[in-house]
Amino acid sequence: MAKGIGNGFPLAAVITTSEIAKTLTEAAYFNTFGGNPLASCVGSNVLSIIEEENLQNNSDKVGSKLLRGLADLQIKYSDIVGDVRGKGLMVGMELKSKDVSL
């Protein structure tokens, strides 16, 4: 994951099991946003703000409202709107193409 965890600062993270992580020691591994003090400080502060401002709960509320609204559009415009799905504010909506002869 990346982008949002640094709030615009170039920062990335990998979440995996211990078993998979151990395999990273068997070969050369490189990433652009390795653990430097500045990146670590930014990441820590972003996590603190997310917790202090209850942003996960807000994302759930706003995302749920968005999904309900898109689902209404899906029903109303089923010929145009295909799949609607997501969690929090990671939401996607499929737009169907119509046959257009040129």
The residues spanned by each domain of the chain are 4-52, 61-95
Please enumerate in sequence order all residues whose Cβ is within 8 A of that of 2, keeping only pairs 6 or more positions apart, or say none: 10, 11, 12, 13, 33
Helix, coil or strand: residue 6: helix
State the pLDDT at residue 31. 65
- DSSP secondary structure, 52-80, as one string: HTTHHHHHHHHHHHHHHHHHHHHHHTTTT
Query: pLDDT grade, residue 18 (50/70/90)?
Result: very high
pTM of the full structure: 0.66
Q: What is the pLDDT of residues 19-30, one digit of tens each?
A: 998 887 887 766
